[in-house]
């Protein structure tokens, strides 16, 4: 209901000319789009913000071309942003994680529209051949049509049966299984756990594994992407960048060990896993030779935006065309700035609270 009202308001704003006004006001800013994975079967119904249908991606690229949003390589865009020489409404495409679907589904559209993109790759699953464990577990519960699951044979220290029609009990069970797998199992044991879970839930795990809907790109697929002109950059090895400096830097180092031989050059751009970062990490990143880092905070970047906290727009299947348009035209960004400005006048709210995404 609230979303319908929002969409109606955006349509009215467009009719009265606010889109064109906001485009003019924000034209010097750099738009960075963020994608994750693309849909083979029904994944966008499972996680709409994470999986985009290939035809939606094609529509987005068509929109950017037809409405004159020039798409630039990340590095070039950042240099021009610094020099205040960016073409009007410049846009960068980034894709996080390194899913197989980038290679299999998205690459053909990047080629078709001749647009550059940066893919931030988390390298742990590269060449391991298994689906991302936690996604596979969550998807199998989502996919199951059963009303309860027997736990005795799973080997996760639980017994009896649990109703998976009770969303609270189901969520608790899902995270118990994920934590067990991630802390007590190696890769073959996690695969075995997934097979057992699939059997208990009446979901074909082998199909999930074979279709690679939650699989990552292999080294050879990453090399093909690089050969096709796609920019590969850093996203840590195990998709974590904690506040413990030695662990965070080891993640960066392990990620570089996998990716730099494929890229054939030092990699200097980074994306925080899950967008989680703190300002104290900036010095670590600079010392490690990182020039830019992207977050998941929404917004349009200006020449004064911290290069190690670049803001992006997370596109997804749950973003309607008018919402995408409002974001690219800068209207949503202006509304966010107005809201943030107003919040500064509310007693008890710090400046940081006011800037945090809603």
Residue numbers of the site for Zn ion (CB under 5 A)?
96-97, 273
Query: 347 and 31 in contact (C-beta within 8 Å)?
Result: no
Integer Cα distance of 186 and 335 in angstroms: 47
Integer Cα distance of 281 and 156 in angstroms: 36
Q: How many residues does the chain have?
A: 358
Closer to Zn ion by CB, 22 or 233: give it: 233
Integer Cα distance of 161 and 138 in angstroms: 18
Closer to Zn ion by CB, 22 or 255: give it: 255
Shortest CB 122 distance to Zn ion, Å: 6
State how far the alpha carbon of 146 is from the alpha carbons of 130, 162, 194, 197, 198, in Å: 25, 11, 17, 12, 11
Integer Cα distance of 108 and 114 in angstroms: 10
Shortest CB 255 distance to Zn ion, Å: 12
Shortest CB 36 distance to Zn ion, Å: 7
Query: 199 and 146 in contact (C-beta within 8 Å)?
Result: no
Shortest CB 200 distance to Zn ion, Å: 29
Closer to Zn ion by CB, 97 or 315: give it: 97
Shortest CB 96 distance to Zn ion, Å: 4
Closer to Zn ion by CB, 96 or 231: give it: 96
Q: How many C-beta atoms surround the C-beta of residue 48 within 10 A? A: 15
Closer to Zn ion by CB, 270 or 324: give it: 270
């Amino acid at each position: 209901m609230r979303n319908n009202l929002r969409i109606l308001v955006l349509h009215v704003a467009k009719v009265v000319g606010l889109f064109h006004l906001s485009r003019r006001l924000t034209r010097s800013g750099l738009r960075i789009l963020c994608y994750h994975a693309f849909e083979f079967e029904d994944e966008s119904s499972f996680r709409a913000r994470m999986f985009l249908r290939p035809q939606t991606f094609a529509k987005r690229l068509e929109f950017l071309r037809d409405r004159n949003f020039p798409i630039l390589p990340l590095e070039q865009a950042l240099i021009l942003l610094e020099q205040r020489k960016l073409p009007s409404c410049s846009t960068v495409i980034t894709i996080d994680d390194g899913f197989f679907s980038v290679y299999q589904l998205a690459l053909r559209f990047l080629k078709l529209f001749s647009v550059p993109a940066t893919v931030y790759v988390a390298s742990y699953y590269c060449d391991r051949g298994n689906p991302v464990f936690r996604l596979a577990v969550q998807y199998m519960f989502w996919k199951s049509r059963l009303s309860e699951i027997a736990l005795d044979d799973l080997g996760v220290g639980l017994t009896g049966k649990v109703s998976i029609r009770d969303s609270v009990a189901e969520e608790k069970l899902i995270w118990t299984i994920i934590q067990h797998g991630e802390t007590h199992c190696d890769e073959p044991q996690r695969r075995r756990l997934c097979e057992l879970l699939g059997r208990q839930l009446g979901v074909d795990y082998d199909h999930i594994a074979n279709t690679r809907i939650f699989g990552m790109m292999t080294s050879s697929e990453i090399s093909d992407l690089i050969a096709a002109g796609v920019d590969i950059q850093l996203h840590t090895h195990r998709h974590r960048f904690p506040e413990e400096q030695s662990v965070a830097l080891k993640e960066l180092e392990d990620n570089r060990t996998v990716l730099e031989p494929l890229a054939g050059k030092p990699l200097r751009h980074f994306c925080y896993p899950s967008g989680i970062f703190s300002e104290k990490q900036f010095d670590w990143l600079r010392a490690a030779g990182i020039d830019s880092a992207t977050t998941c905070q929404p917004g349009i970047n200006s020449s004064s935006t911290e290069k190690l906290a670049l803001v992006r727009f997370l596109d997804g299947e749950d973003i309607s065309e008018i919402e995408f348009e409002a974001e690219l035209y800068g209207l949503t960004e202006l509304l966010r700035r107005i809201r943030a400005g107003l919040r500064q006048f509310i007693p008890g709210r710090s400046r940081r609270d006011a800037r945090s995404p809603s």
